[in-house]
Amino acid sequence: MSYVYFFLFLLNLKKIPLIFVFLPFIKYQINMVGLKSRDLLVYNTLSREKEPFEPLHSPFVGMYVCGPTVYSDIHLGNCRTFISFDLIYRYLLHLGYKVRYVRNITDAGHLEGDRDEGDDKFAKRAKLEKLEPMEIVQKYTLGFREVLSLFNTLPPSIEPTATGHIIEQIEMIKVILDAGYAYEVNGSVYFDVEKYSKEYDYGILTNRKLEDLLEGTRELSGQDEKRGRLDFALWISAKPETLMKWPSPWGVGFPGWHIECSAMSTKYLGTSFDIHGGGMDLQATHHTNEIAQSKACHHSEPVKYWMHTNMLTVNGVRMSKSAGNGFLPKELFTGDHPLLERGYSPMTVRFFMLQSHYRNTLDFSNEALQAAEKGYKRLMGSIATLEKIIPSDVSTVDIASLEKNCYAAMNDDFSSPVLIAQLFDAVRIINSCNDKSETISSEDLIKLKEVMHTFVFDILGLTDETKSMTGSNVIEGLMNLILDIRRTARENKDWATSDKIRDELKAAGIEIKDTKTGAEWRI
């Protein structure tokens, strides 16, 4: 506090405006971020092109990602979205941005149909499992967090729930009603899309005209309370048997799905913030309606950069429950599914997902997962090898260019596949230096270790699962025994036994390498 009083004394004595006292510190913070981030390009769904990343209030960044609807186990499509935004979050933090990452939990108000029809997903699941709705919420929220923990994703800064923000949603609906963009019918409140469209472009996110959207929507039935075919619920009147309901100015009911994210993002990030993300399946309805609600309430663009992840396929066919080709993360880990030959570790799956750009379709197959497993183990093995390298006086490798290329990959809309390609170039360098076909100086060796640690662990978010395997005393003892048997066979010129041991271990995922000082092994 003494520094604060000193500054206030200076201001009073010299009549210096406050901004000039703190300007050097502010400039320093902004320049530190700008050193590495000035070339960052982000693909904006809104403009349909890559744009320079310029936060509204640099170095602060507000990022909102639509979280799970916790009425069932998290599916792989969700995992891909959250792993992708974990990569984005990690890189922004690495660049020096102060990121507030908000990812909601939808625990109420999500009906089975996007047209505000069908049963509430939580109530339906609660009846099936004979539990209270909030028991369902707790069960699947814990499961969601457990799976993301296995994938080594960083937790968000704030994880708000829809049920914890009913008041904020009601207040937002009041403003939209007062502005004339919504109407109330029998205790329910609906957003008037056609009236909104007289002033704003409702289809701006998907680049579709209102006439086309109306043409693709079926006529309202005589029983429908809505005035227009595209209108959507902000608040839904509850039936007597409804399990989850709250009092409101329009009667007892529950919020519509879309209003939840608008209310929570506004509360924690303001009426305009930097990044809003989610799966591409949310563009046409959920995110389109979020924009409409926010503009109707605040009369400004709510988000600067809209970012969306692409869908998953299995052997070329879109992954879905109806197609019978969907599997859960834990089934992927255990291999307990008809489409899987065996299980794959969480880091193998994370590495597999990061091999594809977040905006590209990702195709699951046993062959692709097994190739990713080999690549992941090779990457981890090279990092272990890195610790064994003895530096030379001069370098014949270019580490500065490697680092530059890694940043260039991430600055091009977070291109993780290009980054991984650069890291495998680093693997080649590591192996060459270890084999003495290339040399590396002490300074460059330190830099290479820094580059690998930064991009493999801090940014890609991988962990070394092989350490838990190789660190076991039992495995170490077994491998020493096997290598001793193989050494004896080689001394006796029993090449058949020697080769058989090498080949069988390779098939099991263990590589044997013969060196001048003896045989070495690695997972």
**Residue 410 burial by CB count (10 A; 0-12/13-18/19+): exposed, middle or buried?**
buried
- Domain containing 509 equals 471-522
Q: Which amino acid is at 173?
A: I
Cβ atoms 270, 62 nearer than 8 A:
yes
Is residue 286 a known part of a binding site?
yes
- Residue 112 marked ligand-binding: no
DSSP 165: G
Cβ atoms < 10 Å from Cβ of 77: 20
- Same domain for 211 and 110: yes
Q: Does 212 lie in the same domain as 133?
A: yes
Q: Within a domain: residue 42?
A: no
Q: Both 267 and 393 in a single domain?
A: no
In terms of domains, do 514 and 400 share one?
no
Please report whether residue 34 resides in a domain: no
Would you call 166 helix, strand, or coil by DSSP? helix
**Contact call for residues 128 and 184 (beta carbons, < 8 A):** no
In contact, 111 and 121? CB cutoff 8 Å: yes
Beta sheet of 253-255, edge-to-edge order: 182-185, 188-191, 232-237, 253-255
Residues 514 and 455 in one domain: no
Domain for residue 81, yes or no?
A: yes
- Is 406 flagged in the annotation as binding? no
State how many domains the chain has.
3
Going residue by residue through the chain, which has 523 residues, state the pLDDT in tens, using 9 for 90 and above: 444 444 444 444 444 444 334 444 444 444 445 445 569 999 999 999 999 999 999 999 999 999 999 989 999 989 999 999 999 999 999 999 999 999 999 998 777 566 666 667 888 888 888 888 899 999 999 999 999 999 999 999 999 999 999 999 999 999 999 999 999 999 999 999 999 999 999 999 999 999 888 886 766 655 578 999 999 999 999 998 888 999 999 999 999 999 999 999 999 999 999 999 999 999 999 999 999 999 999 999 999 999 999 999 988 888 877 777 888 999 999 999 888 999 999 999 999 999 999 999 999 999 999 999 999 999 999 999 999 999 999 999 999 999 999 999 999 999 999 999 999 999 999 999 999 999 999 999 999 999 999 999 999 999 999 876 544 455 666 777 888 799 888 888 888 898 889 888 888 778 887 765 577 776 6
Structure tokens at 271: 């009426």
pTM of the model: 0.84
DSSP letters, 197-253, are TTTS-TTTTTT--HHHHHHTSPPPPTT---SSTT-EEEEEEPPTT-SS-B--TT-SE
**Is position 6 within any domain?**
no
Can you tell me the distance from the alpha carbon of 236 to that of 253, in angstroms, rounded to the nearest whole number?
5
Q: Which of 309, 341, 368 is the last residue of a domain?
A: 309
State the pLDDT at residue 182: 98
- Domain assignment present for residue 39? The answer is no
Q: How far apart (Å, rounded) are the C-alpha atoms in residues 415 and 412? A: 6
Q: What is the CATH number of the domain that holds 383?
A: 1.10.730
Q: Is residue 44 part of a domain?
A: no
Strand pairing class (273-279; 60-65): parallel
Q: At what angle do helices 76-95 and 18-37 cross, to 10 degrees?
A: 120
For residue 220, is it left (φ>0), alpha (ψ between -120 and 50) or beta? beta
Helix (H, G, I), strand (E, B) or coil at 60: strand
Return phi, psi of residue 517, to 5°.
-95, 5
Q: Is 82 part of a structural domain of the chain?
A: yes
Q: Which of 286, 261, 140 is nearest to 205 (CA)?
A: 286
Summarised one tens digit per residue, pLDDT across range 230-271 is 999 999 999 988 889 999 999 999 999 999 999 999 999 999
pLDDT in tens, 86-140: 999 999 999 999 999 999 999 987 775 666 666 678 888 888 888 888 999 999 9
301 and 324 in a single domain? The answer is: no
215 and 345 part of one domain:
no
The phi-psi region of residue 126 (left if phi > 0; otherwise alpha if psi is between -120 and 50; otherwise beta) is alpha
Domain assignment present for residue 35? The answer is no
Residue environment code for 452-469, b if the CB has 16+ CB neighbours within 10 A, otherwise e? beebbeebbbbebebeee
CA dist list (Å): 488 to 479, 481, 497, 519: 14, 11, 10, 12
Q: What is the pLDDT of residue 34?
A: 47
Q: CA–CA separation, 244 vs 131, rounded Å?
A: 13
User: In terms of domains, do 172 and 227 share one?
Assistant: yes
| 69 plus 213 within the same structural domain | yes
Q: Are 404 and 491 in a shared domain?
A: no
Q: What is the CATH number of the domain that holds 153?
A: 3.40.50.620
Confirm or deny that 404 is annotated as ligand binding.
no
Count of helix runs (H) and strand runs (E) in the chain: 19, 15
Strands 312-314 and 317-318: antiparallel
Within 10 A of 368 (CB to CB), how many other CB atoms are there? Answer: 15
Q: Domain check: are 196 and 298 in the same one?
A: yes
Domain finish residue from 309, 339, 359: 309
* Residue-wise burial string across 113-149, b where 16 or more C-beta atoms lie within 10 A, e elsewhere: eebbeeebbbbbbbeeeeeebbebbebbbebbbebbe
Residues 290 and 328 in one domain: no
- How is residue 519 annotated by DSSP? E
Q: What is the rounded distance in angstroms from the CA atom of residue 372 to the CA atom of residue 363?
A: 12
The span from the CA of 152 to the CA of 366, in Å, is 22
**Residue 321 annotated as lining a ligand binding site:** yes
Q: ∠100-105-106 over CA atoms, to 5°?
A: 135
- Alpha-carbon distances, residue 448 vs 382, 392, 460 (angstroms): 12, 14, 16
- Domain end, chosen from 309, 331, 359, is at 309
pLDDT tens track for 274-289 = 999 999 999 999 999 9
